[in-house]
Amino acid sequence: MKEILCFGDSNTYGLIPGTTSRFDRDTRWTGILESELFSKGYKIVEEGLCGRTTIFEDELRDNRRGVDMLPALLESHNPIDYVILMLGTNDCKTYYNASAGLIGKGIEKLIAQIKSYNSELGILLMSPIVLGDEVWKPEYDPEFNKTSVKTSHKLKDVYKKIAKKYGRYKNDAVPREDMFVMTDISSEYFKSINEKEKNVVVHDNLDPVEFLKMDFSEETINEHDDEEEYLMSMIDSLSSDEMDDIINEEEEATRRAKFEEFLQDYDLMSIVQIYSSELIEPERKKAIIELEKLGIDEDKIKNEVYPEIPLSEVLENVRMVRNYYAAVNS
């Protein structure tokens, strides 16, 4: 019997929203997974804890840092064959003030712990479901704010990068490690590994419950001796609209990844570097020039034109600054 360790937070614990109660085992996704895979020789080990983070210490609740708990759990549940890792939601809380990139660093540390314990373990990395747009309101969970929601939306792109770095990603020819990735719990991508051939099948728009029903060892493309030929046949079977959708998805994912990197470096960049970036809209560049002409401090300009501030708000702020200086100098 092979064992799959599911390491996560309240989403894995099965917390019923708005309560302190837990869904019954047959309702929790871990329970569904075991019911589908038990007859195929897989047993699920549940390790979900409400409030668990990757690397951040919760001052109000003990033992919430994933990196403090995972090594002991790997040892106590030995032997483990696979680890399903789904964390990051609680890292988005206001008082951690963590970017998606920093949360990704925490995920990487957990992956390193798994590989250090047993480099042969298969890993499924799952980006958690995004936070609701109004989760920060008092009647829901004021531990989050509007920025938390934005950060949660950025996690899947960060997790894709991590998967590409440590494992098999969609466009890689050869995997460096045995690693799965599911970047959106609602559907997007995940990979399944063929233990023998180390080949990967890409499944798009697959319901997570359907994923949970799949046999890790049998869902392969090992019947295709020539992977390139197989992939070309798959491409040939796509309609032009489907191909356009795939290309557009890839282009958008690349743009989002570049934008995330740009935001991470933003504070260290000069105003000239920011102005020169292709990621800054022409109208935002005009705002930079106008603020410079008014003699505004560079750091203040960077704050005023920050890329995540809606352009309409930036232009309105520039208009107010312009009017203020006009009134002062009149």
Across the range 113-131, mean pLDDT stands at: 87
* pLDDT score of 327 more than 80: yes
45 or 181: which leads in pLDDT: 45
Most confident of 87-91, 132-136, 176-180, 249-253: 87-91
**Residue 113, pLDDT score:** 93
* pLDDT score of 87 more than 90: yes
Most confident of 119-128, 210-219, 247-256: 119-128
* pLDDT score of 92 more than 90: yes
> CA nearest 162: which of 133, 146, 182?
182
**Residue 301, pLDDT score:** 92
Distance, CA of 220 to CA of 202 (rounded, Å): 10
**Residue 124, pLDDT score:** 85
Mean of pLDDT over the chain: 78
Distance, CA of 125 to CA of 86 (rounded, Å): 6
- Cα 132 vs. chain centroid, distance in angstroms? 15
Summarize pLDDT for 186-243 with one digit per residue, the tens: 333 233 333 333 333 333 344 444 444 444 433 333 344 454 554 566 566 667 776 6
Q: Show the CA angle centred on residue 159, arms to residues 31 and 263, nearest 5°.
A: 140
- Cα 81 vs. chain centroid, distance in angstroms? 23
Structure tokens at 276: 């020169």
Across the range 240-269, mean pLDDT stands at: 79
Judged on CB neighbours under 10 Å (0-12, 13-18, 19+), 289 is exposed
Summarize pLDDT for 284-314 with one digit per residue, the tens: 999 999 999 988 989 999 999 999 899 999 9
52 touches 92 (CB < 8 A) = no
SS3 track for the chain:
CEEEEEEECHHHHCECCCCCCECCCCCCHHHHHHHHHHHHCEEEEEEECCCCECCCCCCCCCCCEHHHHHHHHHHHCCCCCEEEEECCCHHHCHHHCCCHHHHHHHHHHHHHHHHHHCCCCEEEEECCCCCCCCCCCCCCCCCCCHHHHHHHHHHHHHHHHHHHHHCCCCCCCCCCCCEEEECCCCCCEEEEECCCCCCEEEEECCCHHHHHCCCCCCCCCCCCCCHHHHHHHHHHCCCHHHHHHHHHHHHHHHHHHHHHHHHHHHHHCCHHHHHHCCCCCHHHHHHHHHHHHCCCCHHHHHHHCCCCCCHHHHHHHHHHHHHHHHHHHC
Structure tokens at 118: 């047993």
167 falls in which pLDDT band (50, 70, 90)? low
69 falls in which pLDDT band (50, 70, 90)? very high
182 touches 124 (CB < 8 A) = yes
Distance, CA of 211 to CA of 278 (rounded, Å): 38
Backbone angles phi, psi at 2, to 5 degrees: -85, 150
Distance, CA of 86 to CA of 12 (rounded, Å): 8
* The CATH number, out of the four listed (3.40.50.1110, 3.40.50.300, 1.20.120.450, 1.10.10.10), of the domain defined by the range 2-228: 3.40.50.1110
59 touches 24 (CB < 8 A) = no
Lowest pLDDT segment from 41-45, 137-141, 147-151, 222-226:
222-226
4 falls in which pLDDT band (50, 70, 90)? very high
179 touches 159 (CB < 8 A) = no
244 or 225: which leads in pLDDT: 244
Across the range 265-294, mean pLDDT stands at: 90
Domain definitions of the chain by residue range: 2-228, 266-329
